[in-house]
Amino acid sequence: MSTDPKAPQPLAEVLAFRPPPAEAESYLGDDPAANAELLDNLLAGASEAAGALYDRFAPRVNGLVWRLLGADGDHDDVVQQVFLAILQSAERIRSPEALPAWITQVTVNTVRKEIRRRQRWRWFQAEAAAQPTDHGPDGEDQLLARRFYQVLGRMTPDDQLALSLRYVEGLTLPEVAAACGYSLATAKRRLVRARTRFEKRAQRDFVLAAKLEGWRR
Amino acid sequence: MTRDEKELQALGQQVRDELGEPLAGARQVTQRQALLARVSGADGKAGEGRPRVAGRLTRGLLWAAAGVVLLVGVMAAVSSLMPSKGDRLLPGVRGQQQVTVHIGQRRFRAPEGTWIEAPAHRKARLRFSNNSRMELAPGGRAVITTLEPNRIAVRLTRGALDSDVTRRRHRHWKVSAGPFGVQVLGTAFGVQWKPDSEQLRVEVTRGRVKVTGELLPRGELVLVANQRLDVDRKRKTFRVSLLLGATATRVVRTPRQGKILDPPPNPTASTPPLAKAPLLGSLKKLLSGGKHKAAVQAAERIGLRKLTRTLPDGDLWRLARSCRFARKGSHAVTVLQAYRRRFASTRHAHTAAFLLGRVHLEQLGRPAKAARWFQQYLRQSPRGALAPEAHGRVIDALRRSGQTTQARAAAQRYLARYPQGIYRRLAQSVLSK
């Protein structure tokens, strides 16, 4: 994505996409007045609501899905599922202030379902146990990320999410708990367990093992 | 923070750097367009989610379930591809329904979404690939809304439509007219709809049909052969009568063929015993669970008027929503008006005015009233979140109610305020006329 705001944009992009607001806070969807307006539109079934929802939360949802699934090939499908789930459950949002947190939760839940779905399908593949996951980054310059998500892919969905949210997404413990719908104590316990399991598996991967060893020294 | 945690944090940071950012501009445009197409149903998948698979089954059970699903799937696929005895497939996709429209000597294929308008002095004949036939009376207007192998729906917007439908198991036929629907249960029947006077007439000469809509007992009524149903929405009356003179095998040609006998002998119109009135708690559960039809039925049993006086803010709002989604327009109006009276100071009270406009326009076919409600919303919330939408809908409502001068004025105001708004084309077309 171009970082220069003055760089010319393709015409189709200019026509189809409203530029994000200038204020970073509003861009992240934390502006209560704008959230109230958006929620009104969603509840009233206004025809522009879906577009407005996307314009407002696309960066947040995309970033989260991208880092939870690891630059996945089905990224766009999953993002679409997230937005559809939000639209379908809009009436359960109690107040505009809860909208950003709700969106994070729906995103995490949708990704969890997606991971479970993939794991179920791997049961039907004869050599699934020996195979790495069928998703994740594949560029030559993403070796570490690829290995990381391969190891992560062999863990339970809850462990995967807890680790990604905490260490890749960089959330604090209370934020991880809120995003996953856990209590703080459960989140702590789950993270400790996930970390232990990850380190055990990472020792069998020479790239990750070397990296972790290097940091230890 | 422990040493292990620091290592993982460093690893996570490096992974994050390698991944980069997902959203290039072009990708965002594609995502947005795909989402809007999905939401509006333009890609034919509106409302669909990913297929849901059962929760945690044991591996053996899952294999067994998968085997059964596979077997059933294969059988269903084979059965849907096998044409029935009566089917005469036209060239095209195997198993796909096709319609040919004949108007005089002219003949053309009509895909899904085709509007058909019979000339003033000629009928339009629709022939389906399974030998079913429909006839649109001169001056009539209809649209083929669904044309799928197992589901065919036609919406009659004006005039009379006679049908002779070859029924097949698992194939659903539906003719809708205004707020009413006629589900075909294997039959020859005629539907007449007068949008101006809001009168519906259904005559059945063979088989059975199920008519759904407002005013009917419990929202639906089954008609059998030689019965006629007349519904007058303005007078809020309906009448079932015997249709004499109609032969058992012929398509009803004209609506004046039969004589009306009163009182109506209708064996299916008897009201079934009322279910035990549900408790308020179960109504609330239905409302918050989004079970709209069931919620409205439960509310009807408890008493809608009583509920509009007693329900708290959130529940009353949800009840209004359920009435709208269940397409119970008159109920929605009752509840929304009660909401505005009781909770005039809340944020939703103004939105209720907007919603009243939508219900009048979309469900009750009262554009003049709809325009007044949209204008009411704009008076109360001139800068409200729904103001652009309300301005646009005012034009539409005024245009539909025949108030051309006011519609033009509204269109001018709209274009001045929202030159790039989504109703600009409507406004421009109103002004160009």
Q: What is the pLDDT of residues B194-220, one digit of tens each?
A: 888 888 888 887 778 888 887 787 777
- The residues with which B107 forms a beta bridge, in sequence order, are B102
Residue B423 and residue B414 in contact, taking contact as beta carbons nearer than 8 Å:
yes
Q: Residue A8 above 50 pLDDT?
A: no
- Residue B213 CB partners (closer than 8 Å, separation 6+): B178, B179, B180, B181, B200, B219, B220, B231
Of all residues in chain A, the one with the smallest CA distance to B288 is: A92
Residue A217: list chain B partners with CB under 8 A: none
Of residues B170 and A116, the one with the higher pLDDT is: A116
Which among A30, A29, A32, A53 is positioned nearest to A41, based on CA atoms? A53
> Tens digit of pLDDT for each residue in B299-349?
888 888 888 888 888 889 889 988 988 888 899 999 999 999 888 877 788
Mark out the alpha helices in B177-261 (DSSP H runs): none
Q: Output the 3-class SS for B352-416.
A: HHHHHHHHHHHHCCCHHHHHHHHHHHHHHCCCCCCHHHHHHHHHHHHHHCCCHHHHHHHHHHHHH
pLDDT of amino acid B95: 42
pLDDT of amino acid B182: 86
User: Is the Cβ pair B12, A166 closer than 8 Å?
Assistant: yes
Considering only CB atoms, B19 lies closest to which of A66, A88, A124, namely A66
Considering only CB atoms, A144 lies closest to which of B15, B29, B288, namely B15
Angle between helices A49-69 and B25-40 (to 10 degrees): 120
Interface with chain A: mutation pick from B32, B43, B57, B418, highest number of A CBs within 10 Å: B32
| pTM for this model (two decimals) | 0.43
User: Is the Cβ pair B49, A59 closer than 8 Å?
Assistant: no
A186 CA to chain B: closest CA distance, Å? Answer: 17
Instruction: For tokens 């594609």, name the residue.
Output: B30
Q: Residue A48 above 80 pLDDT?
A: no
* Angle at CA of residue B157, ends B155 and B161, nearest 5°: 70
pLDDT band for A141, please (50, 70, 90 cuts): low
Q: Cis omega (within 30 of 0) on the bond before B263?
A: yes
Considering only CB atoms, B22 lies closest to which of A63, A85, A149, namely A63
Residue B19: list chain A partners with CB under 8 A: 66-67, 70-71, 137, 142, 145, 168
Considering only CB atoms, A48 lies closest to which of B34, B53, B422, namely B422
Encoded tokens for B211: 């008519």
Residue B172 and residue B183 in contact, taking contact as beta carbons nearer than 8 Å:
yes
Considering only CB atoms, B62 lies closest to which of A55, A113, A123, namely A123
Q: Output the 3-class SS for chain A.
A: CCCCCCCCCCHHHHHHCCCCCCCHHHHCCCCHHHHHHHHHHHHHCCCCHHHHHHHHHHHHHHHHHHHHHCCCCCHHHHHHHHHHHHHHCHHHCCCHHHHHHHHHHHHHHHHHHHHHHHHHHHHCCCCHHHCCCCCCCCCHHHHHHHHHHHHHHCCCHHHHHHHHHHHHCCCCHHHHHHHHCCCHHHHHHHHHHHHHHHHHHHCCCHHHHHHHHHHHC
pLDDT of amino acid B410: 92
CA distance B37 to B405: 35
pLDDT of amino acid A216: 61
pLDDT of amino acid B394: 92
Residues in chain B, pLDDT under 70: 1-3, 23-25, 40-62, 76-97, 105, 167, 169-170, 186, 243-279
Percent pLDDT > 90 in chain B is 8
A76 CA to chain B: closest CA distance, Å? Answer: 7
Residue A150 and residue A135 in contact, taking contact as beta carbons nearer than 8 Å:
no
User: Is the Cβ pair A216, B22 closer than 8 Å?
Assistant: no
Residue A136 and residue A65 in contact, taking contact as beta carbons nearer than 8 Å:
no
- The answer to whether ipTM exceeds 0.90 is no
B21 CA to chain A: closest CA distance, Å? Answer: 7
